[in-house]
Amino acid sequence: MGGELVLVTGGSGFLGAHCILELLKAGYRVRTTVRSARREADVLAMLKVGGTEPGDALSFAHADLMTDAGWPQAVDGCRSVLHVASPFPPGVPKHEDELIVPAREGALRVLRAARDAGVKRVVLTSSFAAIGYGQTPVAGHPFTEENWTNLAAKVSAYVKSKTLAERAAWDFVASQGGALELAVVNPVGIFGPVLGPDHSTSTDFIRRLMDGEMPGLPRMVFGVVDARDVADLHLRAMTNPAAKGERFLAISGDFMTTLEIARTLKARLGDAASRVTTRVLPDWLVKLAGLFDGQAAQIVTELGKARNATGAKAVRMLGWAPRSREEALIATGESLARLGLLKKSR
């Protein structure tokens, strides 16, 4: 098999699988890490849904973010690494370290192994969570890559974990990285075609809307980007010399309210979206629900905040051209329906 070998960590995840698809399409050979051999079949099934049967172009390595074992073998012979793997649970962890430690230590493990193996560049998947929290949004001034989340403010464990992991990665490369290069991609909410039952927290929001599990909409805004475009941005950050030492926000257009998202689904998906609510809940009701429900508790601090961000840097520097927000949302809904991941209509 020809083609340069690239390591993708976390290939059984929603974004990891899309990154593998994008690399294979571009002619690369891919090695991906999974925590156990049991997950290999899941990865192959997701790639098949994505239209690819990789054959010899894909190989597997077994490695866990919480231990050193397996990482030297995983990076061996790779010129580039996409470090996509990261914990992102749907509920609130009992202790924030359940998220912070694997995110930070995992990033450092991958960087250390990459440096020792002579890898040229690592592209780290961070998040808008490391950019736009713990500070008051200013109207007319969208967040950019220059911004960092303020950890002195009250932020969720997930936000803290992504910020600390990215900070640690930049510090490591500056102080101990040697010739290793780092580029970082900071996506907002990742939507787009679901490839299997194990998708993401963002796409699960669409599933819950379409299944009628949400009695109403909290007054919140989301950034939207398609997983296919986030994967494409990872490749651009991996190959473009100008991306060295840079962060790139991955977002398509402006943030959307939950109501705009719901209306988009209803307008475009017909019967499949018949259970989507367009009723907006008063903040006090969401706060009350947050006392009993972990998912509601996570969003209470976000109610009514009018954030925004811009992906202009990736467009300008790397020629990135993402799909529209609406296309990303509709692709999510259509794929959930196509794969039979929605409740049957009554």
Indicate which residue of 48, 94, 162, 305 is catalytic: 162
**Considering Cα of 109, then 112, then 117, then 118, what sign does the dihedral take?**
positive
Distance in angstroms between the alpha carbons of the first and the last residue of the chain: 50
Q: Tell me how far apart the alpha carbons of residues 165 and 107 are, in angstroms, rounded to a whole number.
A: 6
Q: Tell me how far apart the alpha carbons of residues 104 and 300 are, in angstroms, rounded to a whole number.
A: 26
| Strand residue runs (E) in 19-133 | 29-34, 58-62, 80-83, 121-125
What is the C-alpha radius of gyration for the chain, rounded to an integer number of angstroms?
19
Q: Tell me how far apart the alpha carbons of residues 93 and 18 are, in angstroms, rounded to a whole number.
A: 27
Is 344 an annotated catalytic residue? no
- For 174-235, the DSSP string reads HHH-TT-EEEEEEESEEES---SSS--HHHHHHHHHHTT--SSB-S-EE-EEEHHHHHHHHH
| 124: helix, strand or coil | strand
Give the list of residues 6+ apart from residue 96 with CB closer than 8 angstroms, or none. Answer: 157, 160, 161
**Residues involved in catalysis:** 162
